[in-house]
Structure 1
Amino acid sequence: MDRFKMTRSTLATLLISLREQYEKTPLEIIEDALDSNDPLQQINLSPLLIKISKLKPETAGLSINEIANLGNLLEYAMVTSTAIQNWVKRDIKELIGAPMHGKKYSIDQAAILFIVEDLKVVLDFESIRKALTMVFNNPADRSDDIIDPVYFYKGYADIFCHLYKQDLNDQLEKRIEAKVQQFILSLNIDPIHHEKVKKLLSISVLSIFSSCFHSKAKSLMQKTILES
């Protein structure tokens, strides 16, 4: 099960199917994700996914541990239940509200937590609160939201998957690799060290891209706050 990862688009679709009637059941969405992850390998459902696949839209709720464990199945993410506890008790308490299903959080609340997980990479919690309260209002009443939290999550998840998977991922990494290889060949380095140097150079280039996108996201956030 350690090899299994799902995209944010898959998780967003799963959340929608847990909250309302959808064209596919939660189990079908999970099975599709398992198949696309590694079609040649049979991967058994974890207890968490089995439990989630049986939830009914009218009563679906997720505990903090379940949200964290589900988040850890995502690509490029690392979620801890301790961090989520801190968010709901302190950092985004007013944004997330109290658990809607006893001690469990609603699907909308879970979606907001996954959104926060993504935004915290580039924004501080004060900025996150300001940003999300522009579109998500009273946590106890989703009818006054400008956009539904789950569909907000699915929207940017789908855009990322489309751009990164189809455009940036292959093209960017191939172009970096080609440029790095070209640079290495121009140097007097023993071929036995080429692969090691190539990987470290690629990591360095990707790090700059990360910093660049980080900076652009923060700049756009500041502009958004000033214009609100």
Structure 2
Amino acid sequence: MNRRDSIKSLLLGSVAAGLALNGCVETKPEVKEIVSNDPVYGRTDKEKLRDKKLNDKTFLTEYELSTIAVLCDIILPSNDEYGSATEAGVKEFIEFIVKDLPYHQVPIRGGLMWLDGYSNKLFNKEFVSCTNAEQLQICDQIAYPEKTKQELKQGEHFFTLMRNLTLTGYYTTEMGFKDLGYKGNTPNVWDGIPEDVLKDHDVSYDEEWLAKCVDQSKRGDIAKWDDDGNLIS
């Protein structure tokens, strides 16, 4: 099982990642709408004005965002069917979140500084300048809380926050929904009461009624009734 499948398996088995931001997820799945300057999702005028103010602000630098992009794609890389976290707009989502929920600002910025400091200690260069193998070597040391060395606990807390933000951002986008196989409120196909149940109650369908009501080719048709309550079509 690869890293992406492992994360999906954990996510499907728990809602913890989805709740990690304590209500920061918008009701629409498309993250790029959340970070848009002119959102089209369901928002009040007051909420739209607040979103615009947040979007007009800048907190994270381009360098910090480039580091976040690398981390996001390490946590959720692309596969043969779906794009990576950054392709789903997770970097922009995190930039919005640190302005929407300012208590994330110090942990994120401090964590990025810690990451570069540790990377310089190991490889004499910043995290974004490391090779993929070197980046994974660093992440592997802070990605597993029960195995993290005491001196790397700050890095562990930062990586856990980044993982939660990445999963929340990705799996609330259209791409993430499709990756999970989530279909939402999709109507079931009803083909009538099962035959064994009908037999138990000694009843059966009238063939004419059955043809009108259980014909799946007519699912989209609007039923019409006469004045006596009889189904016309």
TM-score tier (shorter): under 0.3
TM-score scaled to structure 1, two decimals? 0.25
Structure with greater Cα Rg: 2
TM-score of the two chains, using structure 2 as the length reference: 0.25
